[in-house]
Amino acid sequence: MAEAARTRVVGIDLGQRRIGVSVSDSQRVLATPHAVIARSGDLDADHRAIAAVVAEFGAGLVVVGLPLSLAGDRGPAAAAAAAEAAALGTQLRVPVVLHDERLTTVEAERRRRLPAEPGRARAGERARAPARPLRQKRPDAASRARRAGIDAVAATVLLQSWLEENRGKG
Look up the CATH number of the domain holding residue 145.
3.30.420.140
Report yes or no on 62 lying in a domain: yes
Total domain count, the chain? 1
Q: How far apart are CA 151 and CA 166, in angstroms?
A: 23
Q: How many CA atoms lie within 13 A of 87 on its CB side?
A: 14
170 assigned to some structural domain: no
Q: Count of CB atoms within 10 A of residue 28's CB?
A: 21
pLDDT at 120: 45
122: in domain: no
When mean pLDDT is compared across 7-16, 83-92, 110-119, 127-136, the lowest value belongs to 127-136
Does residue 132 lie within any of the structural domains? no
Q: Is 88 exposed, middle or buried (0-12, 13-18, 19+ CB in 10 A)?
A: buried
DSSP letters, 142-157, are HHHHHHHHHHHHHHHH
Determine the structural domain holding residue 35 and report its residue range.
4-117+137-165
Share of the chain above pLDDT 70, in %: 69
Question: Per-residue confidence at 150, pLDDT binned at 50, 70, 90?
Answer: confident
Taking 90 as the threshold, does the pLDDT of residue 89 lie above it?
yes
Q: pTM value?
A: 0.76
For the chain, what is the total number of helices (H) and then of strands (E)? 4, 5
